Chains A and B, each alone.
Chain A
Amino acid sequence: MDGDDRDIPPIPASPAEAHAPRVGVDEWVASVAERREGYSGVLGRARSELERVPRPVFYAAFGVAAALLPAITSDGYIVRVGFDTLLYMLLALGLNITVGYAGLLDLGYVAFYGFGAYGYAMLASPKFGIHWNTLAIVPVVVIATAILGLLVALPSRRLLGDYLAIVTLFFGQLFVAVYTNGERMSLFGLTRSHDVTGGPNGIPNVDNFNVFGGRIGSLQAYYYVALGVFLLVLLVVFLIDTSRTGRAWKSLREDPLAAELMGMPVNRLKLIAFAAGAAVAGLAGTLFAALNTAVFASDFDVPTLIIIYAILILGGAGSIGGVILGALVVNISLEVLRTPGHATWVFYVTILATLLMALRPWRVLALVLGGTVAFGYAAHAIVAAAWPRGVHGSPSVGGWFGSGLSGWELHPSNPRLIGNITFIALVLAVLALTLLSGWKRWAAMIPTLYLAGFVWENRLVVEPSITRLILVGVILIVLMNARPQGLLGTARVEIV
């Protein structure tokens, strides 16, 4: 919002008008100008070079890099996180068809995932005593999920935008409700009640994948299966993306009415997009069930849906590369932040590096950093003299960094209450920071930075599980505000 902001197109010039509807501004022209501007400098040139490389090269490079992971490490946890990430990529890729290409807001997507997983579990477990071959189950489940997708889409095809979102959202809720309570199902009270889904106890002891008599049991093997499946689906999606159907979907997304007027079979396109997305989710479900060897309805509830959406939108809806990047960012940050030690490093490094790169000129940077350090030592000295219990504890990280911190940061002996108060103060301070400008901002930054360190050490690090989710929330807010189109998405013009 400052005068020096290069990202906002030249009109409107005055800060007050920046948020008003841009009457008379051609947004497309503005966005082209913005992009051209972005290509200046060394980074810009590198970027335009990168854009010249055909996209499949990137996908292949990703495939090779991903295939090397189990070779680098034998750590089961890392391979497991890799598998989870691939599964999320696959799910986001499917959602990309429905949301990214066709522009249909499908909030019941996770139900298709669950349907696929339960489908596999029912056909390959002692639950009903059925143990089919995997090569038979997967096509059956995928087709069944696609049909379910069609059935959901059929009544919804008349619905516009957000009404579709709500119907699908509740389809998802319906799925969870039915599967959680499916241990006493009867046909409208007419028949005796049967245990269909295992209810809250789910379906345990599901078979592993079983191909040509060989059982796939190890985590590594599943990782490769997931990678193979993902690359295969990626190829298909890439081909569809550039096909007639893909172009038709995108025109449907941009303007359904215009698409219809151009003679496109709008309804059929919607149905296909829905079914295709559902089929991919069903496929992902079979992988999930076979690795976990147990399925529970609570795995297919809203939290999972939110993660898939965050991946797709953060990466950039409509972009295959965005799906890959989004899944890496979201899932790996969720996992890394789980461990307090790692989270602490990420926290400090992010703040420091952001300051290093964002603060110009150099003397301001030096002033802010030096000021923060000095502020900390001064505060520490004052508190140590006035209130010894305020410096009682010790920092969460060890080593040289920790010993440096211990003289700088305050560590009250019972930090719970004061940590809570300063947490609120920190949130308000950060919000205030975004409103200030010029030297006031630099000045305000010093205590805010110190406060951030204090809150982190005294409150956030003590509750890593909660902190992790708070940070995910912050990441979502900051990232969407910084790049509304997602990391690799292309800016679209909203037609008003």
Chain B
Amino acid sequence: MNWNLFVTELVAGITHGSVYALIALGYSMVYGILKLLNFAHGDIYMVGAFIGFGIVTVFGGAESLSVNVWVLLLVMFLCAMLGGGLLGVLIERFAYRRLRNAPRIAPLITALGVSFFLENAALLLLGGQFQSYDSYGWKGGELWTRGFTLPAGVHVGVAQVIVVAGAVLLMILLTVFVQRTQLGKAMRATSFDREAAAMMGIDVDRVIVATFFIGSALAGAAGVFNGLAYQQVWPYMGFQAGLYAFIAAVVGGIGNLPGAVVGGLVIGLAQSFSIGYISSTFSDAIVFLVLIAVLILRPTGVLGRAAVQKV
């Protein structure tokens, strides 16, 4: 057995899966509360990635950074999360709020409209060319040359560690927030039953705004993680990523936060292992087959609760 291949695929899958999981978390949170498939979520991720790219440019560009890498990272994450979160709140306020009691499919089409708008506005403002974070060039590439070596001789760069550790940290923070704080509890209550929550005196509007802010901030962070590990940003990057995050959310059980994380990892690993061991050409097809198999065996996802239909 080729252990090098196996471990490499494992690392690749976990790294990519972490990014998926972060996007999927936001997807799942919004879905849990509004039962809305927010197709614009992937585009928030794109905006986050561009904000990060803008910060790199402001600090002198990849080759000649004027600040310490860690300072840069901190600024990038703060800005991208704040920017992504605000964008999410704006979208909720102006595009979705009026549709809260509308037929389910109306906000879906609105979400597509928002996605069209964001992608093409980005194309208009930023041009269609690929931009690169080029984290390989930051301070002589220390993010990639430094790191540690796993068994079977697989080198893991600091950048990859940051992606995985950062994602885990954000997930832990989110879990603590949802489980422990009052707003988090209100969120859970609202996602369980919006009307009943409203009757119990929960300010549903505020909860929804908070959900959008947090979910979108996570997507913004995912954008920066992606730039860090995979360099490229461009206006249409959100669509594909959003799609994969969507599957991740569903595989894990949509509306279920630990499920989103599990789903993200499953999708990331399924992708990298199918490229490594089966066929790079049909890797997408294989991911879809995994998805369909999961859903047929467990129609509500890996960690999803059995759906109770209310009559």
Contact = CB atoms under 8 A, between A and B. Distances in A.
- Do A and B have CB atoms closer than 8 angstroms in the complex? yes
A333 interface: no
A470 B116 contact: yes
A155 interface: yes
Nearest to A99: B105
Contacts of B284: 173-174, 177
A420 to B, nearest CB: 5
A467 interface: yes
Main secondary structure of the interface of A (DSSP, over half): helix
Interface residues of B, number: 60
Contacts of B180: none
Contacts of A314: 109
Contact of A309 (B31, B109, B198, B247): B109
29 contacts: A19-B100, A20-B204, A21-B100, A155-B296, A160-B299, A161-B104, A163-B254, A166-B246, A166-B247, A169-B246, A170-B247, A173-B243, A309-B109, A313-B106, A313-B108, A313-B109, A420-B125, A423-B121, A427-B121, A431-B94, A459-B124, A466-B123, A472-B113, A473-B114, A480-B99, A480-B106, A484-B106, A485-B102, A486-B106
- The 9 A-B pairs with the shortest beta carbon distances in the complex, nearest first, are A476-B113, A473-B116, A484-B102, A473-B117, A484-B106, A477-B113, A170-B288, A469-B120, A480-B110
Contact of A496 (B107, B195, B205): B195
A158 B246 contact: no
Given A170-B247, A485-B103, A159 B95 contact: no
A155 B102 CA distance: 30
A2 interface: no
A424 B108 CA distance: 25
Interface of A: 19-23, 27, 99, 105, 155, 158-163, 165-167, 169-171, 173-174, 177-178, 181, 184, 257-258, 302, 306, 309-310, 313-314, 317, 420, 423-424, 427, 431, 434, 459-460, 463, 466-467, 469-470, 472-477, 480-481, 484-486, 492, 494, 496
B149 interface: no
B309 interface: yes
B15 to A, nearest CB: 23
Nearest to A481: B98
Contacts, number: 163
B97 interface: yes
A160 B253 CA distance: 12
Given A161-B104, A480-B107, 20 more contacts: A20-B205, A23-B195, A99-B105, A155-B292, A159-B295, A160-B307, A160-B309, A162-B35, A162-B254, A166-B291, A173-B288, A177-B285, A177-B288, A257-B311, A313-B105, A313-B109, A423-B125, A460-B124, A466-B123, A480-B109
A466 B124 contact: yes
Nearest to A100: B105
B115 interface: yes
Nearest to B278: A189
Nearest to B123: A466
Contacts of A22: 101
Interface string B287-304: 011011001100110000
Contacts of A310: 109, 112
B58 interface: no
Contacts of B102: 480, 484-485, 494
A481 B95 contact: yes
Nearest to B109: A313
Nearest to B197: A21
B194 interface: yes
Given A21-B194, A166-B291, A170-B291, A470 B120 contact: yes
B221 interface: no
